[in-house]
Amino acid sequence: DGGITQSPKYLFRKEGQNVTLSCEQNLNHDAMYWYRQDPGQGLRLIYYSQIVNDFQKGDIAEGYSVSREKKESFPLTVTSAQKNPTAFYLCASSIAGVSTDTQYFGPGTRLTVL
Amino acid sequence: KQEVTQIPAALSVPEGENLVLNCSFTDSAIYNLQWFRQDPGKGLTSLLLIQSSQREQTSGRLNASLDKSSGRSTLYIAASQPGDSATYLCAVSPILIYNQGGKLIFGQGTELSVKP
């Protein structure tokens, strides 16, 4: 089956810890994205990548970091510098990362800070 | 700055009713507008994508319209069913001076409940 997988489904973080969220796609898409969703709000873009070994900051990149070493994988690290990390995190991909593309979303990871 | 608004935030209707969800955006410089469905605790599923040159798109019981000049889009759901209960989000792809590779700007969503 082609699609986007995210793991884990639920993640708990202690204060001061860094945690990494996994996102993998087998759609052969060039572009991948990370969004954050807070209750009652729309999605906000954290980082995106249009090609391997390149990525750009979105609207709320502070306290987050990413890497894109492989086309299929775009992991997101939530660092201790992110002051309010509790949220639902969604990964997406699109064919070429151009503005006319449809984005396809993974099932999400819910991160809770203890 | 592009802003996307969806009203109402929540809507409850009896089964079988036709309904309209609204989406408004402040800047008409967009490539396209998409409607997504999100079930509780799940990711997003794309329902319809309307390119800026189009006026509407249809898929089954769903019809989405786009009026760029007024900054509005509607999602019409015919003969609603309990299985349509979900949150519906709209998103625009803005035309930006610098290449920002497919960035989407989302509304807050409308939570729809269809009662049997």
Report chain B (116 residues): mean pLDDT per 10 consecutive residues.
93 97 95 94 93 94 96 97 97 76 88 96
Q: Least CB-CB distance to A98: which of B89, B102, B106?
A: B102
Comparing alpha-carbon positions, the chain B residue that sits nearest to A91 is B43
Identify the burial level of B4 via C-beta atoms within 10 angstroms of its C-beta, where 0-12 means exposed, 13-18 middle and 19 or more buried.
buried
pLDDT tens track for A19-74: 999 999 999 999 999 999 998 788 999 999 999 999 999 989 999 999 999 999 99
∠ CA(A65), CA(A70), CA(A79), 5° rounding? 15
Residues 6+ apart with CB under 8 A from B72: B22, B23, B24, B25, B66
Coil, strand or helix at B77: strand
pLDDT tens track for B57-82: 999 999 999 999 999 999 999 999 99
How far apart are alpha carbons A97 and A52 in whole angstroms? Answer: 12
In chain B, what residues touch A6 (CB-CB under 8 Å)? 43
Cα–Cα distances (Å) from B32 to A100, B18, B25, B36, B55, in that order, read: 7, 25, 12, 13, 11
Q: How far is A50 from chain B (nearest CA, A)?
A: 7
